[in-house]
Amino acid sequence: MSELSVWERIEIVHHKGRPTVRDYIPMIFEEFYEMHGDRLFGDDGAITGGIARLGGIPVTFIGQVKGRDIEENKKTNFSMPHPEGYRKALRLAKQAEKFHRPVICFIDTPGAFCGVQAEERGQGEAIARNLFEFSTLKTPIISVVLGEGGSGGALALGVCDELAMLENATYSVISPRGFASILWKDASREKEAAEIMHITADDLQRLGVCEQIIPEPSGGAHNNPQQMAENLSEYLGDAVQRLLKKDIANLLDSRYNKFRKIGMFSEPQAGK
């Protein structure tokens, strides 16, 4: 990985020209049919999903949509999903399980939307339900953090067999700004927070959260979106093939253990 500071990576991730889900879809998949709605309330523009073909293999694709301009951001709510977005994701994932299609999730969100209607429709329940159901979904799941992996709103698409991160992507329990503001009562210390929070792909690989780091073109994905898409395709093609070879019981056991082993604690009398 290139030697950039955490803050430099955050700036790359927020670069206006950084490719989004909408840019990658046509470059990665041979076909993509977008599907809409959670069948319960509505269709959330912050999460897209549908059926795609990757290297000849049918897959279900789910992704959080950052807008490339103000118009698009209005439709995608700056990639901050409402409960119906998470429920759409779950509906499509269940459909993938039925038809034995691997699921590919692209994570790119500052977090789940915080608002009155999101609360009324059960934002917490929607996220929890995805964690619960994805943990035993009987088909391979690959999640990739494209840019920003913000908290529970990212994790709701992050229960998977393999988590990959683009080289400059970050994934955190709260934004550095929120971290500084809550723990130090001083949002202006966000750079300092970013440095100590362990939020880069490298950090997360060390902590056992991320399995693969996908290299970005020099200076960041925006410098060569085509190259970035090729790197992504190569990784995804390989991961899908690899995971499809595993039998489902093994796959689910490894998925359980991937999360089961994360945590650091001490047990003086651990002799049981």
Binding test (CB under 8 A) with another protein, winner from 12, 152, 164, 231: 152
- Rounded least distance, CB 257 to another protein, Å: 10
Say whether residue 235 binds another protein (CB under 8 A).
no
Asked if 171 touches another protein (CB under 8 A), the answer is yes
Q: Which stretch binds another protein (CB under 8 A): 58-66, 149-157, 231-239, 240-248?
A: 149-157
- Could you say which of 30, 31, 119, 238 contacts another protein (CB under 8 A)? 119
Q: Return the number of the residue (53 or 129) whose C-beta is nearest another protein.
A: 129
Phi, psi values for residue 203, rounded to 5°: -55, -45
Number of residues in the chain: 272
C-alpha neighbours within 13 Å on the C-beta side of residue 249: 0
Q: Which range of residues in 5-13, 49-57, 124-132, 220-228 is near another protein by CB under 8 A?
A: 124-132
Shortest Å distance, C-beta 130 to another protein: 9
What six digits make up the tokens of 150? 């913000």
Bridge partners of residue 63, in order along the sequence? 48, 106
Query: Residue 88, CB half-sphere, CA atoms under 13 Å: how many?
Result: 25
Q: How far is CA 90 from the centre of its chain?
A: 14
The correct pick among 90, 145, 197, 239 for binding another protein (CB under 8 A) is 197
Q: Which residue has the tokens 């999640």?
A: 143
CB of 263 to another protein, least distance (A): 4
| Residue 116 in contact with another protein, rule: CB under 8 A | yes
Q: Map residue 126 onto helix, strand or coil.
A: helix
What does the alpha-carbon distance between residue 271 and residue 19 come to, in Å, rounded to a whole number?
Answer: 51
